Structure 1
Amino acid sequence: MHVLSRRAEPDLAVRVAGEPTRGVPVVLVHGMASDHSTWRPLAAALRRHGRDVVSVDLRGHGRSGRPGGPYRLDDFRDDLVYVLDNLGIHVADVVGHSLGAHTALRLAMYEPSRVRRLVLEEVPPMPRDEADLSEGITMKATLGEQVRGLLALARNPSPVLRFDGRMGDEIVAEFDVCTPQWWTQLPRVSAATLVISGGEKSFLPPRHLRSVSDALPDSRFVTIDAGHSVHRDRRAEFIRHVEEFLGLLAP
């Protein structure tokens, strides 16, 4: 792991495979209470295709530092900008899961020219109105997802042990506020985008993810009936979709 040290903000840990400045690397961004290790199978597949890969530990996760103040969604976005700038990456393909997908989408809205292709796995949208708020569509894992999460924890407890638990309530609080302007900014995204839903097994209703996909200028939508962690629980199918979307498979 490379640790990118900063004075006023938390250090950020990244795993770099290849030479990310020589072309368009793939940046992988994990979900809440996870870390870069969740992407090892995908990273290995991308490397077999000759792609350079950067796997990020978000602030408060893995080997990255913790902020002195509260966690805010835009800070995760700014951390990705810092990683790109520090590594000399002008443009990247970005794959994100859950909080990482939301962060990647904020990056693509904030600096559209930096993201060429974007994969959003189970991206939680901001609430548009009181109807969205009353539905409570984010951050509520189903029983099945909790069981699968416990099994994953038994196999690899490090991400949860290193996770800053106070983050959860602070981030959920941001999703408890109507933010219609988030939706009006989605057309700023210029990246070709693949939105992946985990289907009805997920706590994120597929129709909301489809709404995100429909609001993006160049997007396709796919459902893999796996629950919230598609890349973990339907690994081969997830990797195939990413490979196809990134143009890595022969026609």
Structure 2
Amino acid sequence: MGAPIVLVHGLRLSGSMWRPQVEWLRERGRTVVAPDLPGHGSRRGEVFSLGSAVDTVLSAVDGVGGRALLVGLSLGGFVSIAAAGAAPGRVAGLVAASCTAKPAQSLAQVYRIPALLMDRLPDRGAAVNERFHRLTLRDGAADAALDGGLAVEAATAVIDEISEMDALAALGAYPGPVWLINGSRDHFRIHEKKFFDVCVDGRLVNVPRAGHMVSLDQPENFSRIVADAADVVWVRERGLSDGGSSGQVEAGGS
């Protein structure tokens, strides 16, 4: 039961970051895939573009039946929003996590400068990034994040592409159900009300004691949110329910 699920990873990471969700969901009989975006994971060396990333996501949707719940975090959230806006007929629902900050040149510059500085290091910042993840993630979450490799070389191209994106317009163009998920400690929450306000059918969920990597900070809690969203979409598409009301909620967590 439940809609098929496509999980879309964050910047520098890969589909391996979703291991806790993939295992939890598959144990409960869910259909779930987590593709690597261009320039990341098994596709390192490819040039990242927003268009090619959207194509990757929609190809994964086709692979699970042609219509699915999209779940993206950070970069994956922006890519999922773009995919939903571009092809709403193939997106049964959208879970956009850790991405409620409007991409803009001014904000992108905050991230572009460190990326350029990292590029000057012999390993382009791989050791710094790995240490950061191992210090901030616990209980095997760091291994899930790092096992697909760190595509540190992709950062500048990604930032340049996403900074040109009109995320609010893409989100507003999608008529289906949306869950905006943020860790309560996430710095990317700065425009969450603007994102919520443009949703045709939106819910805003804040997860206590979680940061930007909310899916790895509280993996079981996040997995339950995704499973619930997949169930809502499944039921709504069969006309059995209104799928719950829009609004702002707080998700419990340990």
Q: Considering the TM-score relative to the shorter chain, is it more than 0.5?
A: yes
Q: Tell me the equivalent position of 1:14.
A: none
Higher relative CO (Cα under 8 Å, sequence separation at least 6) belongs to 2
Percent of residue pairs bearing the same amino acid type: 27
2:54 aligns with 77
Q: TM-score, normalised by structure 2?
A: 0.71
Are residues 214 and 147 of structure 1, via their aligned partners in 2, closer, same or farther at CA, if it must alter by over 3 Å? farther
Cα distance in 2, alignment partners of residues 51 and 58 from structure 1:
22
Q: Could you say which residue in structure 2 is the equivalent of 1:187?
A: 172
Query: Is the 2:16–2:147 contact (alpha carbons within 8 Å) kept by the matching residues of 1?
Result: no
Q: Which moved more, 1:49-58 or 1:163-172?
A: 163-172
Moved more, 185-194 or 95-104: 185-194
Counterpart of 1:37 in structure 2 is 16
The gaps in structure 2 that reach 5 residues or longer are 116-128, 233-254
Correspondence for 2:229 among 245, 248, 251: 245
Quick check: 1:33–1:159 contact (8 Å CA) kept in 2? no
Aligned partner of 1:171 in structure 2 is 158
SS at match of 2:95: strand
Change (3 A) 1:188 1:168: same
Select which of 6, 28, 40 maps to 2:7: 28
Unaligned stretches of 5+ residues in structure 1: 1-21
What CA distance in whole angstroms lies between the structure 1 residues aligned with 2:193 and 2:27?
31
2: CA distance between counterparts of 1:138 and 1:209?
19
For 1:118, the equivalent position in structure 2 comes to 94
Question: Relative to 1, partners in 2 of residues 1:243 and 1:182: Cα closer, same or farther, differing over 3 Å?
Answer: closer
Query: Structure 1 residue 166: deviation in Å?
Result: 2.5
In structure 2, the partner of 1:227 is 211
**1:27 Cα deviation from its structure 2 partner:** 0.8
Q: Give yes or no for the alignment of 1:46 onto 2:31.
A: no
CA RMSD of aligned residues (A): 3.2
Q: Work out the CA distance in 1 between the residues paired with 2:34 and 2:40.
A: 12
Residues 48/155 of structure 1: CA separation in 2 closer, same or farther (3 Å cut): closer
In the TM superposition, residue 42 of structure 1 has moved relative to its aligned partner by 1.2
Preserved CA contact (<8 Å) 2:187 2:212: yes
> Do the aligned partners of residues 125 and 243 (structure 1) sit closer, same or farther apart at CA in structure 2, a change above 3 Å counting?
same
Counterpart residue number, 2:147: 158
- Distance in 2 (alpha carbons) for counterparts of 1:89 and 1:135: 36
Per the alignment, in what secondary structure is the counterpart of residue 56 of structure 1?
coil
2:192 aligns to what?
209
Distance 1:71 1:64, change over 3 A: closer
Letter matched to residue 195 of structure 2: V
Cα separation, partners in 2 of 1:30 and 1:236, compared to 1, 3 Å: same
2:199 corresponds to which letter in structure 1?
A: L
Count of residues paired in the alignment: 213
Verify the 8 A CA contact 1:137 1:203 in the aligned structure 2.
no
Is the CA contact (8 Å cut-off) linking 2:41 and 2:151 kept in structure 1?
Answer: no
